[in-house]
């Protein structure tokens, strides 16, 4: 099936306790599409500036990512600068240069409008809605968001949420959006707006999926070295929706496997800076990590008490 992602392509400068990189390839659409590319056909809609080197687009093309929807605008590419302390769950954003992103309005190439799966990465909810106006009959629309939109464009955000099937959101943001401390209640609050499925990302603690009435809990992989958490959430979403698109199925069993594959992709991504690890993966490595997640969580059914 065809999977469309709308989001950012960026230059990231990141400092972690393990090192520092400057102006490396990043952005939600980039992490998402490379992660999803292992499972399905992905198309990107995004914008870059005149300074964006073709080698990055070439890397995406080699992953068979359709980059015809990556517009080039006059000006500079979106840039972010961030820092992580020893608590790698906590990012400090030092600088954000919107640059070409400031005037971004997503226009889908005709060939993109019949996509079956759509991921609206974390951008202005008004832009997310504009994308939905252009797609014909998607089977699944999932979206991410962040505190900036929860507070700054609350009404627009709620309208967009009402139009999607699935919300993928950080734990703190879910609580913030629903204005309740309890996560079960927060997920229910979001489901009541319309989306059948709510996925709560919890960083090093894994993810919770609320799908209709069922709940699934997935751990994060306990890694010995986390070099850079940048892009973990989008790598997760890419593996997750990429797998769903490949099996073309939204039943509970597939959703659960997809969550694990998303978690596996995120666990690879944080093992190096930028997309350095994510872009070099092999299928045996992904399958091996999936099995490691099984080993990490499996326990026998039968108990005899008394």
Contact positions toward its own copies, by CB under 8 A?
38-39, 86-88, 181-185, 202, 205-206, 208, 214-219, 222-226, 243, 246, 253, 256-257, 259-261, 283, 286-287, 290, 294-301, 303, 305-306
Taking the least distance from each CB to its own copies, the nearer of 208 and 237 is: 208
CB atoms within 10 A of CB 249: 15
Structure-token pair, residue 294: 């099984």
Taking the least distance from each CB to its own copies, the nearer of 190 and 208 is: 208
Contact between residue 43 and residue 5 where contact means Cβ atoms under 8 Å apart = yes
Residue 193 CB, nearest distance to its own copies (Å)? 19
Give the helix ranges, DSSP H, for the chain.
Answer: 28-36, 54-62, 125-134, 147-152, 154-161, 171-178, 183-193, 232-247, 252-269, 283-297
Residue 188 CB, nearest distance to its own copies (Å)? 9
Contact between residue 146 and residue 124 where contact means Cβ atoms under 8 Å apart = no
Residue 66 CB, nearest distance to its own copies (Å)? 18
Taking the least distance from each CB to its own copies, the nearer of 161 and 286 is: 286
Task: Report the alpha-carbon distance of residue 118 to residue 143 in Å, rounded.
Answer: 8
Contact between residue 203 and residue 89 where contact means Cβ atoms under 8 Å apart = yes
Question: Helix, strand or coil for residue 181?
Answer: coil
Taking the least distance from each CB to its own copies, the nearer of 155 and 222 is: 222
Residue 184 CB, nearest distance to its own copies (Å)? 5
Residue 83 CB, nearest distance to its own copies (Å)? 15
Residue 240 CB, nearest distance to its own copies (Å)? 13
Taking the least distance from each CB to its own copies, the nearer of 69 and 239 is: 239
Side-chain-side CA neighbours of 223 within 13 Å: the count stands at 23
Residue 270 CB, nearest distance to its own copies (Å)? 12
Taking the least distance from each CB to its own copies, the nearer of 129 and 267 is: 267
Structure-token pair, residue 224: 């010995």
Beta bridge partners of 13: 81
Task: Report the alpha-carbon distance of residue 290 to residue 39 in Å, rounded.
Answer: 14
Structure-token pair, residue 157: 């955000």
Taking the least distance from each CB to its own copies, the nearer of 98 and 247 is: 247
Side-chain-side CA neighbours of 93 within 13 Å: the count stands at 7
């Amino acid at each position: 099936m065809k999977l469309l992602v709308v989001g950012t392509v960026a230059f990231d400068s990141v400092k972690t306790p393990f090192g520092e990189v400057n102006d490396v390839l990043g952005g939600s659409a980039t992490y998402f599409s490379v992660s999803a590319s292992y499972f399905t056909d992905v198309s990107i809609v995004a914008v870059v500036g005149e300074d964006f080197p073709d080698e990055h687009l070439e890397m995406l093309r080699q992953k068979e990512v359709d980059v015809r929807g990556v517009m080039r605008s006059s000006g500079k590419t979106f840039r972010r600068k961030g820092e992580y302390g020893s608590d790698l769950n906590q990012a400090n954003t030092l600088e954000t240069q919107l640059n070409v992103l400031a005037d971004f309005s997503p226009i889908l190439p005709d060939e993109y409008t019949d996509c079956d799966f759509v991921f609206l990465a974390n951008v202005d909810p008004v832009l997310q809605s504009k994308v939905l106006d252009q797609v014909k009959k998607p089977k699944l629309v999932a979206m991410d968001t962040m505190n900036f939109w929860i507070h700054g464009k609350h009404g627009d955000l709620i309208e967009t949420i009402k139009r999607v099937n699935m919300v993928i959101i950080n734990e703190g943001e879910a609580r913030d959006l629903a204005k309740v401390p309890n996560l079960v209640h927060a997920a229910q609050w979001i489901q009541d707006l319309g989306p059948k499925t709510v996925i709560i990302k919890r960083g090093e603690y894994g993810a919770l999926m609320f799908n209709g009435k069922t709940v699934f809990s997935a751990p994060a992989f306990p890694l010995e070295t986390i070099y850079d958490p940048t892009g973990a959430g989008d790598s997760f979403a890419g593996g997750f929706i990429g797998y769903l698109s490949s099996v073309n199925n939204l039943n509970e069993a597939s959703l659960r496997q997809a969550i694990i594959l998303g978690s596996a992709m995120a666990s690879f991504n944080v093992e190096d800076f930028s997309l350095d690890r994510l872009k070099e993966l092999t299928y045996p490595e992904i399958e091996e990590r999936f099995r490691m997640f099984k080993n990490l969580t499996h326990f026998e059914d039968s108990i005899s008490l008394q």
